Structure 1
Amino acid sequence: MLRPLLLALLAGSSAQAFAQPAAESVPLLRDIKEWVVGCDNLRDCHALSAPSGANEEDYSSLTLHIWHKAGPQGYLRLRFDHRGEAVDLSTLQLDGQPLGDALTQDLQAQRDDQGGDPDVQSYGVLDDDAARRWLQRLRNGQRLQVPADTDAHVSLSGLSASLLLMDAVQGRVDNVTALARPGKGAASSVPAHMPVPLLRAFPGAPALTAQEQKNLVAEALKGETAQEDSPPPEASAGALTASHAITVLRYDCAAYNCEYEVVQRARQAPYAQAALQLEPLPLDGAALQGSVGYDPATGTLSYFYKQRGLGDCGAGAAWVFDGKAFQLSEFHIMSRCTGVAYGDWPSLWTTAPAP
């Protein structure tokens, strides 16, 4: 299950972040004090502030994200997200002292064109030099705070170690491009950005007829009975190829997660099963739990596992069928429940569709 996986992944500490930097492998996910760091298969890294406490007083309505792309020219971006009523980030204080216009003037309001949460206001630092000035200042502090909102704060405990870990993953330690420990190494000595894996396209398949749908769903539900205090089992079916389909059986739901059985079958009786070729998740992730669905129009199989009902922590992934197997297209994990939506969870696997 996911929870033991997350506990194992997040056993790291700031001490681990400083040890053997050159040996860091990706994908990577680590908690470092009040921060979470994730680096994907391309060595692109994302760190975000995430209070470690489970008590209500540890909640923060303000999250600081830091993205650093791999490679000599990899861009650096910062973004503050505030949930709730709008606040004036020009009033931000560092350890009780105003940050000042020299930094806050670099904040730019970010538009959300993806239909995101209207109660979240985002402000970014989009210039590399400005972002470096911000980090240089913040690394010497302990806490950012909006004076008018006691919930709007960012702990900087673990920030330096998080930046050093990102540098180590990307081969920047003692380089002029490093965030935590810059040196004299030339930018050109930083390892090049890795090529993005290209997904083979879904070739498409004739849609299931109404009768095929009915028969396949009946086959998936055969022998299933409702469990006490759980909704009755449900099943759906979608086409994979002209001769095969996939059935998704949902059963044994508890709170906001369910168990699933996903099976590849022949479209016609006796509906012989075939091995489901599913590319495994990195870091021994447990796939196809929580909420699972298949989109026959795109050949996409996906899951979303919530650690709590709000859906602000857990894991999720998607695969695309290429006619023979499901290729992993994306994988996200958020280890701490801090109000961050799925789209802003650390990405551990990145791909692109084939041209």
Structure 2
Amino acid sequence: MIPLRLAPLILVAAAPAMAASGDPMPARLRVFQDWIVACDNGGRCEAASLASEDSALQDAGLLVRRDEDGALSVRVADMTGKAPRATVRVDGRAVASTPLTRQVEGTWQGAPAKALVSALARGRKAAILTPTAHPLSLRGAAAALRYMDDRQKRAGTTTALVARGAARYRATPPSLPLVRVVTPPGKAAPAIPGAAINAARRQYGCATDDGSPVSADAYRLDARSTLVLLSCGAGAYNYIVQPLIWRDGRLTPAAFDYAFTFGEPKPAGQPQVLVNTDWSRDGRLSSWAKGRGLGDCGDAAQYGWDGTRFRLLSAARMTECRGAIDTLGVWRTRVVPAPAR
């Protein structure tokens, strides 16, 4: 068990070395004391409560989400997993209550969510009752909600959460980028020669003598290309791979339009690094790089193969290791099938 106040063991960088024109630009997170906010490229905003101290945890926390169409919801989570119900109390008054699914999470929507968010913005002291009272810091809550108003161009309008005014909301949310993704053919991947795997390990510095698991999992992408996830070290909670492409009898680094930096920046020509990867039958490659073993911070990304490179389909982040109940979305796309290759 990792001590609760242990500083993060892995630091995840914020951006790639360079993004070409038209490549993804995931949103940056903003911290307002004990709250953190992200507004993605489609106009959706999320704000999460944080523990008041660095590297600490919350026994229970909140996440406020406002979609681009104005729909508002608030999630509550009990990290102990023992409570059948949660109630949020602000300045001594019970504002909202909900049952917890599987004794973990509950959600408020519509009028109850609006009433709760309004109380959080105006309140001075709050707690989440499960029925044990868990302190909920409101430092920065109003500023975080005001930031959401500003990013969604709702400040000064009747639809604002905090910065309310008399104007009508007239803004149009941005359109999500369209990404065409190849559906895998469903055939088994070809056998990759051991000599090619060993040569790639030497070329890209993925040694097998450090006690880490050794693997080279292969998945067919299209008629000519196969993804190979070359194991490249592991820690207590992060399993690292280098994604390579097997085509025409050669292994070369897989191309990505965006990938979060993990560890030290890699020299040009080296493969990207993905962490705790998963490959799905519908052709989705996922990565989840934990900032610490507790899993309350890190970078999550999902990619799809367009026939030439892996395209970022969605991404979420949590840059503060302070007990947030979830990552915050920073990138979304619209995905359609690409022509078979």
Query: TM-score interval w.r.t. the shorter chain?
Result: 0.7 to 0.9
Aligned to 1:3: 11
Work out the CA distance in 2 between the residues paired with 1:167 and 1:340.
21
Aligned to 2:258: 280
**1:320 corresponds to which of 304, 325, 328:** 304
Instruction: Check if 1:86 corresponds to 2:64.
Output: no
Aligned to 2:58: 60
CA contact (8 A) 1:61 1:82 kept: yes
CA contact (8 A) 1:144 1:153 kept: yes
Change beyond 3 A, Cα 1:39–1:345:
same
Work out the CA distance in 2 between the residues paired with 1:251 and 1:63.
35
Instruction: Check if 1:143 corresponds to 2:125.
Output: yes
Aligned to 2:73: 77
Aligned to 1:98: 93
Cα distance per residue 1:117-143 (max 9 Å; x no partner): x44131x2211x433322222222222
Shift of 1:87: 5.9
**1:134 corresponds to which of 110, 116, 119:** 116
Instruction: Check if 1:109 corresponds to 2:95.
Output: no
Point out which structure has higher relative CO (alpha carbons under 8 A, 6+ apart): 2
Q: Give the residue type in structure 1 aligned to 2:235.
A: A
Q: Which has the higher helix share?
A: 1
Aligned to 1:44: 44
Q: Give the residue type in structure 2 aligned to 1:63.
A: G
Shift of 1:60: 2.2
Aligned to 2:319: 335
Work out the CA distance in 2 between the residues paired with 1:35 and 1:166.
12
Aligned residues: 308
Shift of 1:256: 1.9
CA contact (8 A) 1:248 1:293 kept: no
Aligned to 1:290: 275
Work out the CA distance in 1 between the residues paired with 2:90 and 2:57.
18
Cα distance per residue 1:43-64 (max 9 Å; x no partner): 2000011114136xx5322111
* Secondary structure, counterpart of 2:113 in structure 1: helix
CA contact (8 A) 2:26 2:331 kept: no
Work out the CA distance in 1 between the residues paired with 2:157 and 2:164.
5
CA contact (8 A) 2:286 2:300 kept: yes
Work out the CA distance in 2 between the residues paired with 1:68 and 1:89.
21
Work out the CA distance in 2 between the residues paired with 1:48 and 1:35.
6
Work out the CA distance in 1 between the residues paired with 2:278 and 2:86.
40
**1:207 corresponds to which of 179, 183, 187:** 187
Instruction: Check if 1:241 corresponds to 2:222.
Output: yes
CA contact (8 A) 1:217 1:247 kept: no
Cα distance per residue 1:287-331 (max 9 Å; x no partner): 633323444x33322211111112221111011012222111111
* Secondary structure, counterpart of 1:135 in structure 2: helix
Work out the CA distance in 2 between the residues paired with 1:146 and 1:294.
37
* Secondary structure, counterpart of 1:139 in structure 2: helix
TM-score by length of 2: 0.78
**1:266 corresponds to which of 234, 241, 247:** 247
Cα distance per residue 1:79-116 (max 9 Å; x no partner): 222232216544x4324x233xxx33xx44365xxxxx
CA contact (8 A) 2:60 2:76 kept: yes
Q: Give the residue type in structure 1 aligned to 2:76.
A: F
* Secondary structure, counterpart of 1:3 in structure 2: coil
Aligned to 1:196: 176
Cα distance per residue 1:120-172 (max 9 Å; x no partner): 131x2211x43332222222222212467666221111011101111111111
* Secondary structure, counterpart of 1:41 in structure 2: coil
* Secondary structure, counterpart of 1:179 in structure 2: coil
Work out the CA distance in 1 between the residues paired with 2:202 and 2:185.
25
Change beyond 3 A, Cα 1:164–1:139:
same
Identity %: 23
Change beyond 3 A, Cα 1:352–1:94:
same
The gaps in structure 1 that reach 5 residues or longer are: 8-24, 112-117
Work out the CA distance in 1 between the residues paired with 2:186 and 2:115.
56
Change beyond 3 A, Cα 1:251–1:176:
same
